[in-house]
């Protein structure tokens, strides 16, 4: 029952965000251009090259956690990432969870689209971190087993 409630919450959040973006997007550019603009903006935020090593990946997590003010702050975000994947962007488990914050691969395409990373891989550290941090900002850490 708890899992069903969580799924409904995710779906409602995604629909609200999608509707808000379509309604409140800039009038001078179409929805496709707005999505590209949004993706570029998020991909350039917190300019740490996560692929260079754990130190940079941790800096990206702290920067994003400060930017979106997650519950428990940057320390909690680091704790969850450490527990979920040991800061490994290529982490995968047979239950269908992947990346730094172990996003559910089934839900990843929709989450990535909603949070500004359409068509980005769940194994892309920047996308996985920012999508996860934005989810935690909006919903808290409850969806994560290590929270």
pLDDT reported for residue 10: 57
Q: Is residue 145 part of a domain?
A: no
What the block records as the tokens of 6 is 């969580």
Q: Is residue 144 part of a domain?
A: no
Q: Above 50 in pLDDT, residue 34? A: no
Residue 90 domain boundaries: 2-139
pLDDT reported for residue 25: 37
Q: Is residue 147 part of a domain?
A: no
* Residue 135 · residue 61 · CB < 8 Å: no
pLDDT reported for residue 13: 56
Using a cut of 0.75, tell me whether the model's pTM lies above it: no
Q: Is residue 34 part of a domain?
A: yes
Residue 53 to residues 1, 19, 50, 64, 111: CA-CA distances in angstroms?
Answer: 40, 37, 6, 17, 25
Q: Is residue 106 part of a domain?
A: yes
Summarised one tens digit per residue, pLDDT across range 74-122 is 999 999 999 999 999 999 999 999 999 999 999 999 999 999 999 999 9
Burial of 31 from C-beta contacts in 10 A (0-12 / 13-18 / 19+) = exposed
pLDDT reported for residue 39: 47
Summarised one tens digit per residue, pLDDT across range 49-72 is 898 999 999 999 999 999 999 999
Number of domains in the chain: 1
């Amino acid at each position: 029952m708890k899992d069903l409630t969580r799924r409904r919450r995710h779906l409602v959040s995604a629909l609200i965000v999608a509707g808000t973006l379509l309604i409140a997007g800039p009038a001078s550019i179409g929805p496709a251009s707005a999505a590209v603009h949004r993706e570029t903006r998020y991909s350039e935020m917190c300019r740490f090259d996560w692929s260079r090593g754990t130190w940079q990946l941790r800096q990206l997590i702290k920067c994003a956690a400060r930017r979106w003010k997650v519950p428990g702050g940057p320390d909690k975000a680091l704790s969850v990432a450490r527990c979920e994947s040991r800061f490994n962007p290529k982490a995968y488990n047979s239950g269908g969870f992947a990346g730094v914050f172990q996003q559910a691969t089934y839900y990843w395409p929709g989450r990535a689209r909603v949070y500004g990373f359409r068509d980005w891989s769940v194994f892309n550290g920047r996308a996985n971190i920012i999508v996860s941090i934005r989810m935690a900002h909006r919903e808290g850490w409850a969806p994560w087993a290590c929270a």
